Structure 1
Amino acid sequence: VPDPIPNAPADEELSASDIADLAGVSPSAVSNWRKRYVDFPAPIDSTGRWVRFRGEEVLEWLTANDKLPEAAGPSTELTSIDDVLEEVVNRTRATHDPLESLAVAGAFAATLVEPGFYSESVLADLSELVGQELGQELRALEGTEDLYSNLVLAEEWDGYEEIADAVLRAADRISTSTRNNEGTTPPEVADFIAAAVAPSLGEHMEAKGVDPADVTPDAQKAWENHYWLARSVYDPCAGVGRTLLRAAQEHDDGDWPIHVSFFGQEINPGAARVASLVNRLKLAPLGDGPTDIVVGDSLQQDHFPDRKADLVVAHPPFGLRLPDGLGDDPRWILGNPGRDGSFAWIQIALSKLSERGRAAVVVEPSWAFRGGPSRELRAALVRQNLLDGVIALPRGTFLPDTNIGGLLVLLAKDRSNREPPREPGEVLFVDWTLPNEVGSPPPTAGQSFDGSFWKHCFANWRDVGTAIASWEGHLLPELTEEFKASPGPAYFRGAIEEFSRRHEDQPEVVIQTLGNFTSVNFFTEQATYEDIANNDFDLTPKRYLAFHSGFGQGAVESFEEESNRTVLIAEEATTTAKATVAAMKPLAAFYAGQKPDRAPMLRLTTLGDLQAAGWIEMIAGRGTGRTTDTAATEDTPLMLTSSWIREMASGKAPETHNLVAKSAKIPQDSLVKPGDVIFAIPGSDNGQTAVWTATKTALGAALGFGLYAIRVNVDGGEPAELTPDFVAAWCRTGHLSHQVHKFSTGDVLPKLRWRDLQRIEIPVPADAAAHDWFTKQVGLHADLRTSHKKLSMLVENLSAAESRFFDSLIASAEIADDERFGV
């Protein structure tokens, strides 16, 4: 990880934030000192973004002006290890690096634990870890000896674990306070990684209380063939050791000592010291298993060139671009990564694997879809059968306090000869951004994954072949057959209720089975090489999960049920607004007269096919050269933005009008014409697609970033049934928003690539009767809107009703396609 931000040593350079931490004030206070005191130390170099000061000068000025926090007097109140460690770090902040102080303080606390069987070897290792005799090192931290007098610790192993946990918590606090969180991996991220690399029986059959042979044949198969435990674990960017520790814990069954070796590198000396301490304390019962974490930059030099590992884990720093001079590294087994830091870490992991080795590396989301050399390296991963899985992590897990979730890339060298064997391209894509429980909100970075229902789905797919969540849900085949036998999605809810009633004597099995069904059908998807190649080796998980955006939105109702629902709403609204009676009665009669056997038929095609046939034109917004300059000339086009479209779609009048800068050159055929159906890509909230049909007021406007327009060529011949009104109604459905979310790239500013826009499926009326049905529906709605501007109950639900009708008909069309092709 990057060099640590110095916090006190006099020979280091300090930023304004470091000075604030050192003095215990806010950065704004430091800014005021610079303005108020003429003798405040001058910065070393004011050019560039970061201003630095000489640590010696700053420390001297803070001391002379009494700006350093006063040291607390001897304490007789501190009895918890958390309080003691925090006090030691605070007292020594002006003279020592906080992580260095923390490591020494934690090691000294371990000497106070009641000795036991493991103590002699543990204390010998700790003395070596801190680099000096513990007593001498502690005395160097002047004024801290008194803090341990009332410390209460558990005996031996429990005491060591208590200290290790407290050291990790203190390291998290230090990381946050110094604004350098790249030195520590959040607990939830370590949980994600550990869950993915765990053996399929990592849950130990509910804490080793169940014989696998008594559960399912799959469990027996896993026990016999896949209970593989790593004997060596490596982390090239170890931080404070949490990821290394959690991965190791998943490979210890707890019943007998497993001699596992742990090794890694860490560029931050203080973090490396903490990692060595924590891992030795936590792994004390493993006896001979050594912990070897050295200080060094893994990108520049491999300190363990001759050592291989059964398991490699890595949570690298975010957005790292590689320096020059690394092109001929023998570890680049797939190719030169160029400036791509993520591919450097992936290849470092691969180069360290043993013959049966596995690896897990966290990368930024853009790694999955970047073009150029990165695309070729992704293709090489797939073709050489090294890629095992890609898991989408919740937002904020890769880079805390942001919307960036990250991807967990799973690698393996034994895919072709393990059980079950995997061919190149047989990759499992998993989405852990969806709710941990059905009906709950999506997880965020601050939520621990350790107890999540879904955490073993990847390991079970890898080792058994099915991405189930739990061995106890063994009724999955029965439930799956019931869903296949259902006439359509509208009947799924009834199938679940009937299944639950039939097995009401096994409520836990029912819950676990429903969880397995959700895991297999919603959270995961096994791709083929053809699937990945067709997506141009874009490895974004949501591209492969068919029901990604539909999760939690409920089943699609049948056409008959939607008609009945709309009839009821229309009839209720008729009694509340006399002004709408004349327009509403024919509408109610229209829906009441619908019968399932006379439902309009749709056929599915793609936007690209319609464009190739000349039936539509597509326009993608550029968003280049936007300005709010009111002095722009009258011929300067209006720039439509996503927020502007959303307000227009909701019936509001946008207040801000952005103009295209004079320097921007936008083709005339890309400017908006009346009748263009414009939709805005949903943001990170995964909301509904905003749709607006352009009027004369937008004539000649340009589309901003994230906006797309479909222009129907009404004079272009077949299909005459395709109209702007029809396209606009479809754009409001979940059918489009699900595809947009699936194909879009980027978290902060999502967009659709042109080739993906062309791949989007769109329904068109199958015949003139279907066209007439939709035309009449739209006409009746228009009459109602005209007759009564104040929206009644029906009018408020028009868009939703149209969307539901579309969804029910699209579901019928998809089922018809499946039946036609024998699916």
Structure 2
Amino acid sequence: MSTPSAVPVSLAEIARIAGVGRAAVSNWRRRHDSFPSRIGGTDVSPQFSLAEVEQWLRENGKLKDVGGREFLWPRFEALGSRDESGLAIAEAARRMRFPRTRTASPDLSAEVRQLVGEAAAMGRAEGPRETFEFLLQRWLETHVRQLSTTPPPLATLMTRIALAASVGEPAEGLTVFDPACGTGHLAAAACQEYDGPALTLLACERDPALAALTTARLGFVTEGRDVRTEIVTADALREDPFAGAPADIALCNPPFNERDWGYEELATDQRWVHGLPPRTEPELAWVQHLLSHLRPGGSAVVVLPPAVASRRAGRRIRGSLVRTGALRAVVALPPGSAQPHSVSLQLWVLRAAPDSFSAAAPVQDALLVDATDFARPGTREPGPDWAALSTFVLSVLADLDRPEVTPPEKAVRVPLLDLLDDQVDVTPGRYTASRSETTSVELAASWKELGSLLAGLTGHVKQLSELGFETGSPQTMATVGDLVKAGALTLSAGQQPPESGTPSGDTELPLLTVADLLMDGTAGGLTHTHAAHAIAEEGDVVIAGVVRAFRAWVHEGPPVALGPQLYALRVDPEKLDAHFLAGCLRAPANGRQAGTHASSSSRVDIRRLHVLQLPLEEQAAYAETFRRLRDFETLLDRAGELGRGLTDHVGDRLAAGGLVP
């Protein structure tokens, strides 16, 4: 495959091509005079010729098992236009599946058609579906600010909810409808989750590039199956291409907050059974559009921003949806479930009744689920624990039509009359919070626990207050660096594991980072043994070498990999007591003298930390006192946390009245 020299690549792209970190590429650039010269960009973000980079990497043996896809993507990216590159990837996918097809899209230039041909040839050699998914993922990452996609775990969850919520059997196979399909994540999930016969996928997308990519994706997903797909490029609200076509389930992640959705020209549209959506409520237009396409008993699941559940402008439509039983459930998701990642999005579960306005409809309540707590533990970036979230939501919604079943905590059945007030607010947190009010039994248990903690603190206070200290006698100190040289301990520094592949048979380890320590101290990531630079085993001393999180402790439990700015010290048990060492290291004055104090993110020089020099037999008494001091601190933290919680709960109960004299 020829690589045009005009295609620019950044340091990050070179690192990805070579399968190394960006720091390694910067190091090559400094150390090797033969490294290609910059052809563009800036000194901070330089760009290089892809052809020259490829030649240099091959000549210097820097290419590992990297396929041609890594060299292929920069050429697509160099096309510049989002639409042109997207259409080119879709056309390449079509040529991969149908190699004998000679016709190409007339919208593509001769240069792009040549690139499409080379990509198709590579796809047939390295795997058509894998090559397409690689190019599509890179395209989505490049244009992430312009596109809003549905993450695959969310698409799978939505599909499972819709299949479970639908009542009645489809007449002839299953028909799935998505009027704003994007790049086809929801339709692909429906195809993967449905294992019955005769599946029909109806999808619509107004962006031609996205519609073409959906067609390409579904071509691979449905290969070898009895699936009929129809993807149309159109604005589904303004010109519905599937008007009158009933669907068994509908899935949708519509565009948010679009004011120009067709308010004027659609004012008398027959789809607005529950009322004309206000100009500022386009999401409620999508909700009614989905309902208009459902067969009797069919279900829809739609992703919506949380404001739709409570905005004053939409209360009349929400009231009609609730009153008629069309809105069966609302699920509040953790932040990070989909774009925009900072918002706790919601899933609305809708169902079309045999007669939407039948007074005999058995629906008496709506199920509201607050799943916002199912975030990944110990991580700074927002995002859900998909396995736990899916299990919880599916288990709750399994009893959607069983009013006699009491939902678990964080879920509540709200009678329709309670929802139909002046606000018609269907935000789950508004109702689950009142349900989770602390009971008298729980308050009594908390008071009892606090009493036990205070008794334990009293015991520690008595013993610690009796400690005596000699004054005036200088003590001999040694640094961690001195102890390493003397062989009393070994020091290992944690690092960020590379994003390289995993050898077969390699085991996973929890990955602890400084960010985890600043949250709850629980390892929030995973890595593999081959990628871990430092592994703390039971009995090792772990140190956080950054001022804002400085601490030292003896690790207990299974092995854990350490991230950047964390260190593992393994002691020689004939020379050092691990608890004695940890107690000396974690002294606040020790961290202050070894840190730079330029900012809270300044590093602590671990080798400069001081350790008291004592014979091993004398270290035991210090180690026991250090342990007692640590236990005292733990009890103090727990008592403070429990005391603050009791203050809040009792304050709420008092403010609600009902105090017994």
Query: TM-score scaled to structure 2, two decimals?
Result: 0.55
Which residue pairs with 1:530 in the alignment?
417
- Cα distance in 2, alignment partners of residues 558 and 531 from structure 1: 32
Aligned partner of residue 73 in structure 2, secondary structure: helix
Q: Distance in 2 between matches of 1:524 and 1:415?
A: 27
Contact 1:81 / 1:163 at 8 angstroms: preserved in 2?
no
Decide which moves more: 238-247 or 322-331.
Answer: 322-331
Shift of residue 80, structure 1, vs aligned partner = 5.1
Task: Give the Cα–Cα distance (whole angstroms) in 2 for the partners of residues 198 and 573 of structure 1.
Answer: 60
Letter in structure 2 aligned against 1:532: L
Match of residue 563, structure 1, among 425, 444, 451: 451
Whether 1:384 and 2:324 are equivalent positions in the alignment is yes
1:538 partner SS: coil
For residues 735-814 of structure 1, what are the structure 2 equivalents within 5 Å? Answer: 800=641, 802-803=643-644
1:484 equivalent in structure 2 = none
Q: What is the letter of the counterpart of residue 166 of structure 1? A: F
Partner of 1:361: 302
Q: From 139, 146, 151, give the equivalent of 1:180.
A: 146
Asked if structure 2 preserves the Cα contact closer than 8 Å seen for 1:429 and 1:524, the reply is yes
User: Matches of 2:352 and 2:82 in 1, distance apart?
Assistant: 47
Are 1:318 and 2:305 matched, yes or no? no
Give yes or no for contact 1:387–1:410 (8 Å, CA) kept in 2.
yes
In 1, distance between residues paired with 2:235 and 2:647?
A: 56
Tell me, yes or no, if the aligned pair for 1:237 and 1:316 is still in contact at 8 Å. yes
Deviation per CA, 1:516-538, whole angstroms, max 9, x where unpaired? x9xx4224222211332358311
What whole-Å deviation, never above 9, does each CA across 1:137-188 have from its counterpart, x for those lacking one?
987523554455555658xxxx665455435424422432xx3023x33334
Residue 198 of structure 1 aligns with an amino acid whose one-letter code is L
For residues 409-558 of structure 1, what are the structure 2 equivalents within 5 Å? Answer: 409-414=348-353, 423-435=362-374, 444-445=382-383, 448=386, 452-462=390-400, 520-533=407-420, 536-546=423-433, 557-558=445-446
The 3 A distance-change label for structure 1 pair 68 and 305 is farther
- Asked whether the equivalents of residues 110 and 163 of structure 1 are also in contact (C-alpha less than 8 Å), the reply is no
Query: Per-residue deviation at 1:274?
Result: 0.5
1:246 equivalenced with 2:189 (yes/no): yes
SS at match of 2:189: helix
Rounded to whole Å, the distance in 1 between the matches of 2:633 and 2:192 is 60
CA drift of 1:407 comes to 0.8
- Inter-partner Cα distance in structure 1 for 2:633 and 2:77: 64
Given that residues 92 and 120 in structure 2 are in contact (C-alpha distance below 8 angstroms), is that contact kept between their aligned partners in structure 1? no
Following the alignment from structure 2 to structure 1, what is the Cα–Cα distance between the partners of residues 137 and 388?
17
Match of 1:193 among 152, 158, 163: 158
- In the alignment, the residues of structure 2 paired with residue 446 and residue 806 of structure 1 have an alpha-carbon distance, to the nearest angstrom, of 30
1:111 lines up with 2:111 in the alignment: no
1:276 CA drift (Å): 1.0
Alignment partner of 1:331: what SS? coil
Residues 79 and 152 of structure 1 are in contact (CA less than 8 Å); yes or no, is this contact kept in structure 2? Answer: no
* Residue-by-residue CA offset, 1:641-691 (whole Å, 9 max, x unaligned): xxxxxxxxxxxxxxxxxxxxxxxxxxxxxxxxxxxxxxxxxxxxxxxxxxx
| Pairwise CA distance, 1:381 | 0.3
- Take 1:131 and 1:548, find their aligned partners in 2: how far apart are those partners? 58
Cα deviation for residue 574 of structure 1 reads 5.8
SS in 1 for 2:392: coil
Matches within 5 A, 1:598-747: none
- The structural deviation recorded for 1:803 is 4.1
On the 8 A contact 2:454/2:639 being kept in 1, the answer is no
- Per the TM alignment, residue 348 of structure 1 is displaced from its structure 2 partner at its CA by 1.0
Match of 1:263 in 2: 202
Write the mapping of 1:29-40 to structure 2, written as runs, cut at 5 A.
Answer: none
Shift in Å, 1:265: 1.6
Q: Secondary structure at the match of 1:243?
A: helix
- How many Å separate the matches in 1 of 2:651 and 2:453? 18
1:413 CA displacement: 0.9
SS in 2 for 1:545: helix
Distance in 1 (alpha carbons) for counterparts of 2:118 and 2:393 = 45
Q: Residue 314 of structure 1 contacts residue 362 of structure 1 at CA under 8 Å; is this kept in 2?
A: yes
- Once the two structures are TM-superposed, the CA of residue 82 in structure 1 deviates from its matched residue by 5.0
The Cα of 1:366 is off from its aligned counterpart by 0.6
CA distance in 1, matches of 2:159, 2:324: 25
SS of 1:397's equivalent in the other structure is coil
Q: Measured at CA, do residues 193 and 167 of structure 1 come closer, stay the same or move farther in structure 2, by a change above 3 Å?
A: farther
AA matched with 2:306: P
After TM superposition, the structure 1 = structure 2 runs for residues 262-281 of structure 1, keeping only pairs within 5 Å, are 262-281=201-220
What residue is the counterpart of 1:677 in the other structure?
none
The answer on 1:141 being equivalent to 2:141 is no
Residue equivalent to 1:782: none
CA contact (8 A) 1:191 1:450 kept: no
TM-score w.r.t. length of structure 1: 0.45
Contact 2:150 2:338 in 1 (8 A): no
Report the alpha carbon displacement of residue 70 of structure 1 after superposing the two structures with TM: 5.2
Which SS does the other structure have where 2:409 is aligned? helix
Are 2:8 and 2:74, in contact at CA under 8 Å, matched by a contact in 1?
no
Conserved 8 A contact 2:374-2:385: no
In the other structure, the counterpart of 2:285 is: 344
Q: Give, in whole Å, the separation in 1 of the partners of 2:270 and 2:49.
A: 53
Q: Is the Cα contact below 8 Å between 1:358 and 1:411 reproduced in 2?
A: yes
Distance 1:574 1:797, change over 3 A: farther
Amino acid aligned to 1:428? L
Q: 2:343 aligns with which of 398, 404, 410?
A: 404
2:88 is matched with which residue?
A: 101
8 Å contact kept, 2:184–2:214: yes
What is the root-mean-square deviation of aligned Cα atoms in Å? 4.8
**1:337 offset after TM fit, Å?**
0.7
Q: Does 1:166 align with 2:134?
A: yes
Task: Go from structure 1 to structure 2 and tell me whether the alpha carbon gap of 1:173 and 1:322 turns closer, same or farther (over 3 Å shift).
Answer: same
Distance verdict in 2 for CA 1:341–1:811, change over 3 Å? closer
Q: Deviations over 1:207-236 (max 9, x none)?
A: xxxxxxxxxxxxxxx9xx789996211111
Separation in 2 of the partners of 1:391 and 1:169? 28
Structure 2: unaligned runs, 5 residues or longer: 1-6, 12-40, 467-631
Tell me the SS of whatever aligns to 2:134.
helix
Q: Is the 8 A contact 1:84 1:148 kept in 2?
A: no
Structure 1 389/797 Cα, relative in aligned 2: closer, same or farther at 3 Å?
closer
Q: Do the aligned partners of residues 423 and 131 (structure 1) sit closer, same or farther apart at CA in structure 2, a change above 3 Å counting? A: farther
Letter of the structure 2 residue corresponding to residue 344 of structure 1: A
Instruction: Give the superposition deviation at 1:361.
Output: 1.2
2:238 counterpart residue number: 300
> Secondary structure in 2 aligned to 1:286?
coil
Distance 2:465 2:82 in 1: 78
> How many pairs does the alignment contain?
437
State the distance in 1 between where 2:141 and 2:234 align.
24
Aligned AA (1:542): G
Identity of aligned residues (%): 21
CA contact (8 A) 2:89 2:213 kept: yes
Q: CA deviation at 1:390?
A: 0.5
Distance 1:357 1:794 in 2: 55
> Counterpart of 2:420 in 1: which secondary structure?
helix
Give the unaligned 5+ runs of structure 1. 1-21, 27-61, 113-122, 202-221, 468-516, 579-790, 818-823
